[in-house]
Amino acid sequence: MGVDVFFVISGYLITSIILRELEQGRFSILRFYERRIRRILPALFAMMAVCIPVAWVVLSPYMFRDFSQSVAAVSVYLSNVLFWLESDYFDTAAELKPLLHTWSLAVEEQYYVIVPMLLMGLWHLGRASLFAMIVLLAVASLALSQWMVEIYPSANFYLLPSRAWELLAGSICAFLLAGGKRYGVSALAWLGLGMILFAVFVFDAHTPFPSLYALLPVAGTALVILFTAPQASTARFLSWPPFVWVGLISYSAYLWHQPIFAFTRLHLVFEPSPWLMGALCLVSLGAAWISWRFIERPFRSAAPGPSEPGQAKPWLASRQKLFSATAGLSALFLIFGLAPVTTHWQHQSWRALRSAETLQTHELIRRTDHRSHQAWHDEETRTEGCVFRVSLGRDVIDYDLPLDTQTRLQSCAAQYGEGLAILGDSHARDLFGAVSSASDAPFIIGFTELDCSIHDPLRRCQYDQFKQYLASHPDMFSTVLVGQAGFYLLQEAIGHESPRNLFRSLPLTYEVPDYGPNIAGVERVEEYLESLTPYAEIIWIGPRPEPHIPHEFMMREGCESHFTLRENQFGPYREMEREIATRLADSPVSFISQIDALAFDIHDDFMTCEALYWTDGDHLSQEGQARFGPRLMQALEALPQFPATGQSEVN
């Protein structure tokens, strides 16, 4: 919410300055960018300079490679584009990226390139025409954001076109208040503040954002700007000295909080305690005050030119020197981030400080991740033509499949008869890999897509289209195996669905809380699966056991270590299994306990120094699919309704 509020305020302040100077006939694009450089870059470059040596020592080579790329992207104000391009399902967790927060600065800088040119170039059209154009652009950007939020959520979050309306909301306020107008209506100002606070405390990770939901904090900020008169009660409240002090250092606080939190998380491996997070907040404020006092303020202490009596010149007072220094430092950061020798030297330095076992573990993780990620993006699992995967989020369109896929499926059905379909999210993708590696059945198709939970599918997750296809091709598949990530069907005591890192953030010495099943979610899955039963045998594969041991912890302990599970690791899943089994007692949908079927043993089924069976906390590697596939097939073949698919040998 803070970023959204910041965008509105920034759009308001920048547009106000430009409008005032255009009215006075003294707007200078060079002076505008000089002010922006003094405001933003010195503190930003200082933060980056401190982060580089820390990252050099702390980050593993593959994480340092990503970090160095982000340094380069920040130097050319394109970090939002980089993080969008990196934001696939298997990307490093956001909270572990030291420079992730710079995406918002990139959005702001891109806005600073466009809006001054727009206002300056079209000023001759008149204020009213410009205002109408700004409003239309804001409405178009908001509509784009609402359209993208489910279809292209990462692009919607990071890129300027779907974020511009928040900055333009501030620009609209600047037009309305041009010439010193004030609309002192305290009730509306307090309403705006309440809207911001409501969004802060009510919205969570499951709120589609930005979208129409973002209107709440954005419109709330606009109300505060428009209707807070100098002597109004909201003005006195927001002028409380602690608020003013935080406001003064807020930019530097924003710069420092993310690297401080990220490097701490990387050092500790697991999520810091609330007490430590509170202490880190204080550390961030302390670092922010130092940055504001000794970097921000000296660069902004006076306007360029001869000093007034008693007033010191700012550092690099000459515009030419300021621009030259900025260009030079940007070039150095760009070279650092892009030069292959940088990552090579860091890799060598990192290796020199690690034990042989740590290096072996790191190489095993790197190799497993690389192979598994390649497989995730590969539609073909076998070289034969009738065992392959169809993307549930891309290929099943308009209640039908692409023509070439239809032809292929019809050919397979003609050759082999009814096939086996596997349906669901990334965990179903693992099921597909496990079953196809353990069975010699010739006709197995996976209809899977990352992040496509059956109980709460995104718009791109086309489960209705799959049902329609199944209904229109009743002789295509005899059986459908269905699976999805179990943690999405758990809920905390407060009723929120559990996040992906629910287990990962919990230290191994802690006991897993008794999270209960998400009853409403289980009901939605049951309802959907029962709607498929007229067309095929439906088997719900329950949640699998998940170790949720981070890579960083694995490297710290080494591949020869005897890893342990948290106490009650599978307890919530057992409770969920009981809930599902009870509901399906009289249902045509069958159910298999994957915990029982896989018989997971942390000592044998997690990793050795030769093989890692998990790519992360909850996904199977190719080796893991091959290891657990025969066990799963044995459980499936024990069901009378499961078709004969060939013999599998239990590992």
**Do 435 and 288 fall into the same domain?**
no
| Residues 387, 408: Cα–Cα separation, whole Å | 11
**Do 314 and 378 fall into the same domain?**
no
**Do 330 and 444 fall into the same domain?**
no
Q: 533: how many CB neighbours lie within 10 A of its CB?
A: 14
Question: What sign does the dihedral 495-496-497-500 (CA atoms) show?
Answer: negative
DSSP 539-575: EEEPPPP-----HHHHHHH-TTS---PPBTTTHHHHH
**Do 389 and 260 fall into the same domain?**
no
Burial of 32 (0-12, 13-18, 19+ CB in 10 A): middle
Q: Is residue 627 part of a domain?
A: yes
**Do 330 and 428 fall into the same domain?**
no
Q: Quick one: tokens of 390? A: 């169809």
pLDDT at 304: 45
Which domain CATH number covers 622? 3.40.50.1110
| Residues 160, 106: Cα–Cα separation, whole Å | 9
- Residue 291 contacts residue 255 (beta carbons within 8 Å): yes
**Do 572 and 602 fall into the same domain?**
yes
Q: Give the total number of structural domains in the chain.
A: 2
**Do 536 and 500 fall into the same domain?**
yes
pTM: 0.85
Q: Is residue 203 part of a domain?
A: no
- Residue 4 contacts residue 10 (beta carbons within 8 Å): no
**Do 434 and 404 fall into the same domain?**
yes
Q: Is residue 217 part of a domain?
A: no
Q: Is residue 439 part of a domain?
A: yes
pLDDT at 272: 87
pLDDT at 376: 56
Q: Quick one: tokens of 354? A: 């690690």
pLDDT at 400: 63
The set of residues, in sequence order, having a beta carbon less than 8 Å from that of 102 and lying 6+ positions away, is 44, 70, 73, 74, 79
Q: Is residue 207 part of a domain?
A: no
**Do 389 and 444 fall into the same domain?**
yes
**Do 121 and 170 fall into the same domain?**
yes
Q: Is residue 209 part of a domain?
A: no
Q: Tell me, letter by letter, the H, E, C secondary structure of 581-632.
A: HHHCCCCCCEEECHHHHHCCCHHHHCECCCCECECCCCCECHHHHHHHHHHH
pLDDT at 102: 97
- Compute φ and ψ for 482, nearest 5 degrees: -125, 135
Average pLDDT per consecutive 10 residues, the chain (651 residues; last block may be shorter): 94 95 93 95 97 94 93 96 82 84 96 93 93 97 93 92 97 91 85 95 84 96 92 89 94 97 91 92 97 94 51 84 96 95 93 92 88 57 72 65 81 93 94 93 91 81 89 92 90 58 81 89 94 95 90 91 92 93 93 94 93 91 94 92 58 47
Q: Is residue 648 part of a domain?
A: no
- Residue 392 contacts residue 466 (beta carbons within 8 Å): yes
Last residue in a domain, options 347, 371, 393: 347
| Residues 620, 170: Cα–Cα separation, whole Å | 47
pLDDT at 31: 94
| Residues 391, 378: Cα–Cα separation, whole Å | 10
pLDDT at 650: 44
Q: Quick one: tokens of 575? A: 């409770």
**Do 386 and 342 fall into the same domain?**
no
DSSP 7-50: HHHHHHHHHHHHHHHHHTT---HHHHHHHHHHHHHHHHHHHHHH
**Do 384 and 337 fall into the same domain?**
no
Last residue in a domain, options 347, 372, 396: 347
Q: Is residue 216 part of a domain?
A: no
Q: 18: how many CB neighbours lie within 10 A of its CB?
A: 21
- Compute φ and ψ for 561, nearest 5 degrees: -75, 160
Full domain range(s) for residue 408: 362-637
pLDDT at 382: 43
| Residues 226, 243: Cα–Cα separation, whole Å | 19
